[in-house]
Homo-oligomer: A and B are copies of this chain.
């Protein structure tokens, strides 16, 4: 089965609902960049994919960084002298600053206050905060909760551990005819956050499932990693693989109702950049294409100057532009099955461009061939897009001089890549075109 067949075989609408269900299942888990929450997330994904799970020991040097101690947490709360839990980790795992050191102390509100984080401009929302590389602790809560706290002697407990352990990540490879690889990466290190984190995880999983049964031209490598330290670790341990990376996508924030946003790789004009731009351009949907900048998700590492990999980043609304970002409002209400479906469809369409892009040679380059004589008008009489199809044939014939790929042709003609490949197939069958 080719990728084209595999793409045709899946129903994006169903995939969208299934991805949403997976997100709902993963939502309650308290993930961080290391620890049992991350492992348990990979366990869930392993029901869908035959994931390879890697464990990298704390203290491992990875370029300029060191794999941190493993963090785990069982409970955390702030209790009044009357024994009431006014902040309770069991209610939301966002209540604890990620990587908080263990605490068991009694203190006044005044003493506790510097450890409390709120969002005054969104008084009902709990912020998401982390302190990976500083020994620190804290609680996040809504402004409303904070406003209700009276002076008291509070019992403050964080039942966490920071011990030598492992950084865990998952990897899944769909082997292709070529050793050249398409890298798909998502971060899976955030606790109960849906758009930023779980939408990318679910999309990467479903893309891997869709390709798993096919025999692709390129190999597809899927990474489920903690943000920053995870991509740095993977890059450090896989330098030998990097020359084979011909394209890549970082996926994040792909479930909200906004239009798609593609951020180009550092080089800006690699095949994945052009494929994604073409797919978005011909989609008819609102979208945005932005130049690379060295801030964002793990494309920062993939596109660092020592690697400069052809890796872009796909989002719907980018992180900095939706107010729910890194708050408890990035929940199951923020994301939608049809948005996930659209992100899924778009990635597959871009993969199809990579898979099917090639250069052909017009066997009859002097004047147009007589298409009518070969039934190439009649043969397509039943199509509703007959005129577009004929136009696509003329474009393919005109530009198949050995210097233009099908993607070049699709870009110049502003015709959908799929239509261009179908026209190509018809011309190949008629003997008018040969793959170079």
Contact = CB atoms under 8 A, between A and B. Distances in A.
A381 interface: no
Nearest to A398: B294
Contact of A367 (B134, B304, B365): B304
Interface in A235-258: 235-236
The size bracket of the interface on A is 35 or more
Contact of A366 (B228, B306, B369, B400): B306
B394 A306 contact: no
A307 interface: yes
A345 interface: no
B64 A367 contact: yes
Contacts of A134: 372
Given A235-B367, A370-B64, A372-B133, A305 B400 contact: yes
Interface string A207-227: 000000000000000000000
Interface string A410-426: 00110000000000000
B365 A305 contact: yes
A232 B294 CA distance: 49
Interface string A360-394: 00101111111011000000000000000001001
Nearest to A393: B294
A300 interface: yes
A81 interface: no
A306 B372 contact: no
B305 A398 contact: yes
A266 B397 CA distance: 13
Number of this chain's copies in the complex: 3
Nearest to A62: B367
A110 interface: no
A396 to B, nearest CB: 9
A231 B236 CA distance: 60
A293 B366 contact: no
A395 interface: yes
A413 B300 CA distance: 15
A398 B307 CA distance: 10
Contacts of A413: 293
A432 B253 CA distance: 32
Given A133-B372, A362-B305, A294 B397 contact: yes
Interface string A48-74: 000000000000001111000000000
A134 to B, nearest CB: 8
Interface string A274-311: 00000000000000000101110000110111111000
A367 B311 CA distance: 14
B401 A305 contact: yes
A23 interface: no
A310 B305 CA distance: 32
Contact of A368 (B301, B362, B391, B401): B301
A232 B305 contact: no
A304 B65 contact: no
Contacts of A366: 63, 235-236, 304, 306-307
Nearest to A396: B294
A372 B362 CA distance: 58
A308 B401 CA distance: 10
Given A293-B413, A304-B368, A306-B367, 6 more contacts: A235-B367, A236-B367, A295-B394, A300-B398, A304-B397, A307-B367
10 contacts: A62-B367, A133-B370, A133-B372, A291-B412, A293-B391, A293-B413, A294-B391, A300-B394, A305-B397, A306-B366
